[in-house]
Amino acid sequence: MNKKSFRILTVIFLLSLAFNLYLGFSSPYLNNADSYFNIRIIDNIKNTGLPITYDELSYGGRPVITEPLFHYLFALLSFIPYYFKIFPAILISSLVIIVYFISKEIINDETSSLLTSLLSGFVPIYSNVLINQFTPYSLVLPLMAFIILCFMKLENKKYLIWFLASSFLLAFIHTSSFLLLFILLFYILLMNSEDMQITKLKRETLVFTFFLILFINLLVFRKVFLQYGFDTIYGNNPVKHTFDVLKNIYIIGIIPLFLGITGLYQGFFRLKKEPIILISSMILSIFLLLLLNLLDISTGLLFLSFGLVVASSLTIRNFFVYLEKTKFNHLRKFAISLFIFFIIMLLIIPAYFNYNKEFNNLDDFHWFKANSGYSDVILTPLSYGHIVTYFSDRKNVIDGNFFLAPDPDKRYYDVNLIYSGWSYNKALELLHEYDVKYIYIGEDVKKLYNIQDLKYIQDGTCIRKIKESIYEVIC
């Protein structure tokens, strides 16, 4: 990398970081309830040295299984104010650097690699899944990208060591390590289908990595596998998402989608280079997992967008190669400027408007902590479960941690029935079943269920309003 490219790449990184931090600090709260569960684990590590293994507040009390490395790493950084906003933003922005080197490895072109790097810094789905969220994915995605880069350069001993070390760490950070296994398996299948030889070093590394990740996950999640068996891959998740094609095209980004698919076609069917086969394996394996409903939509689209961004480098490079062969080569700088304009219009602006503040006012949950008993159970929708445990320090009925949770399907259905149902007797029966003391029904909850209030509230005397958005169960 020459000095000019280094300066440009630094500017791209800083622009991406400034954008992520601006959105992150535009809200006083993190943008996902699960983020607060991760902070609770870190607080527990700081107090006891260990992660939470039994959560007496979640589902009224249940065992918890987590991959602790993410939380231990951030526990070391927790002395820095707003560590849960600053460091995830830095990690997300680091993708522009990793994508630059991956693109350089594939196409060996400075201009195209820098433009691809710019492309990777402003993908709209980041606003949904990563920005202002304290989630392992902010570390997992850059680490996965780094692993792919290392695998491309595996013949270099330094990168071999980094690949093995990163794969080992990934297995202790998140279950996305299973996704790496699928990508590598697809890589083997595609290489064999194209009669391309895999070097002995890569074959041995692939076999070792496969069993290493599998062993670590079986070790960490042995109780989960014993309880759920093959159904573990579905995550015990009661929420069923629909695949909205237009919405998903929007959050992936029109530019990465169009350029990525074009680059995938050009690379896989024409060039057939090993690095391109690896990126193709990533895109195709994720797409297959999404079709089979074996991968959460948001997670799948996050990794899919990364693969499409990298594949876009081929389309960008081929465009400039074609431009050099025409009479319009003198318009190269104009073409670069036009490309940057499209990134601003079709990526940066959609990424900005795609960001929604999920929580605007959580004062009621501070009220719960000050005015309710420690053993009281607070009913909220699923998306507020970890808000109850973090801000109120009270028991919830349901939250997003589904592994080993007691019957989350039934609880999810019952919670929805209490909020949207018509029967007072049935609602009271369920409230007693879960020992609920308070019901939270803020404006956002009303919008979620498309209601103005609890429909049966006038039918009995056991549920009374004590605040505008809080009901108390008194009998």
* Numbers of helices and strands, H then E, in the chain: 23, 7
Tokens of 369: 């902590």
* Residue 128: closest CA among 282, 279, 297: 297
Q: What is the pLDDT of residue 245?
A: 60
Q: What is the pLDDT of residue 251?
A: 78
With vertex at residue 48, the alpha carbon angle to CA 46 and CA 53, rounded to the nearest 5 degrees, is 105
- Residues 297 and 227 both lie in one domain: yes
Q: What is the pLDDT of residue 232?
A: 59
Residue 373's identity, in one-letter code, is G
- Residues 240 and 91 both lie in one domain: yes
Work out the percent of the chain whose per-residue pLDDT is above 70: 95
- Residues 310 and 369 both lie in one domain: no
Residue 417, domain CATH: 3.40.50.12610
CB atoms within 10 A of CB 340: 13
Overall average pLDDT of the 308-332 stretch = 85
Q: What is the pLDDT of residue 228?
A: 62
Distance CA 19, CA 245 (A): 27
234 or 66, greater pLDDT? 66
Which of these three, 354, 378, 401, is where a domain ends? 354
Q: What is the pLDDT of residues 70-115, one digit of tens each?
A: 999 999 999 999 999 999 999 999 999 999 999 999 988 899 999 9
Q: Based on the number of CB atoms within 10 Å of its own CB, is 376 exposed (0-12), middle (13-18) or buried (19 or more)?
A: middle
Overall average pLDDT of the 25-41 stretch = 92
Question: Tokens 């079986």 appear where?
Answer: 218
What 3-state DSSP class applies to 431? helix
- Residues 161 and 213 both lie in one domain: yes
Which of these three, 354, 385, 405, is where a domain ends? 354
Tokens of 44: 């527990």
Which of these three, 308, 332, 354, is where a domain ends? 354
Instruction: Please provide the distance, in angstroms rounded to a whole number, between the alpha carbons at the two ends of the chain.
Output: 71
> pTM for the complete prediction?
0.91
Q: Indicate the angle between helix axes 274-291 and 137-152, nearest 10 degrees.
A: 140
The torsion of the CA quartet 46, 390, 62, 462, rounded to 10 degrees, works out to 150
Q: What is the DSSP letter of 391?
A: I
**Domain-located, residue 94:** yes
Mean pLDDT for the chain overall: 88
- Residues 341 and 367 both lie in one domain: no
**Domain-located, residue 242:** yes
- Residues 243 and 380 both lie in one domain: no
Beta bridge partners of 470: 440, 467
What 3-state DSSP class applies to 439? strand
Q: What is the pLDDT of residue 356?
A: 83
User: Which residues are CB-contacts of 121 (< 8 A; sequence separation ≥ 6)?
Assistant: 12, 13, 15, 16, 19, 93, 95, 96
Work out the percent of the chain whose per-residue pLDDT is above 90: 51
The pLDDT confidence band at residue 336, using thresholds 50, 70 and 90, is confident
**pLDDT score of 227 more than 90:** no
Q: What is the pLDDT of residue 178?
A: 87
Q: What is the pLDDT of residues 413-468, one digit of tens each?
A: 999 999 998 999 999 999 999 999 999 999 999 998 999 999 888 888 889 999 98
- Residues 118 and 206 both lie in one domain: yes
Q: What is the pLDDT of residues 170-191, one digit of tens each?
A: 999 988 888 898 899 889 988 8
Overall average pLDDT of the 316-324 stretch = 86
Distance CA 52, CA 316 (A): 47
- Residues 407 and 377 both lie in one domain: yes
**Domain-located, residue 70:** no
Q: Based on the number of CB atoms within 10 Å of its own CB, is 437 exposed (0-12), middle (13-18) or buried (19 or more)?
A: buried
Chain-centroid distance, C-alpha 257: 19
Q: What is the pLDDT of residues 51-69, one digit of tens each?
A: 998 999 999 899 998 888 9
- Residues 278 and 384 both lie in one domain: no
The torsion of the CA quartet 421, 427, 433, 435, rounded to 10 degrees, works out to 110
**Domain-located, residue 36:** no
- Residues 375 and 332 both lie in one domain: no
Q: What is the pLDDT of residue 167?
A: 93
**Domain-located, residue 60:** no
What 3-state DSSP class applies to 436? strand
**Domain-located, residue 48:** no
Q: What is the pLDDT of residues 247-276, one digit of tens each?
A: 667 778 888 888 988 888 887 776 677 888
Q: How many domains does the chain have?
A: 2
**pLDDT score of 150 more than 80:** yes
| Structural domain range at position 384 | 363-473
Q: What is the pLDDT of residue 321?
A: 84
**Domain-located, residue 46:** no
- Residues 376 and 350 both lie in one domain: no
**pLDDT score of 138 more than 80:** yes
* Residue 53: closest CA among 40, 43, 66: 66
Overall average pLDDT of the 395-421 stretch = 90
**pLDDT score of 5 more than 90:** no
**Domain-located, residue 55:** no
- Residues 348 and 378 both lie in one domain: no
Q: What is the pLDDT of residue 231?
A: 57
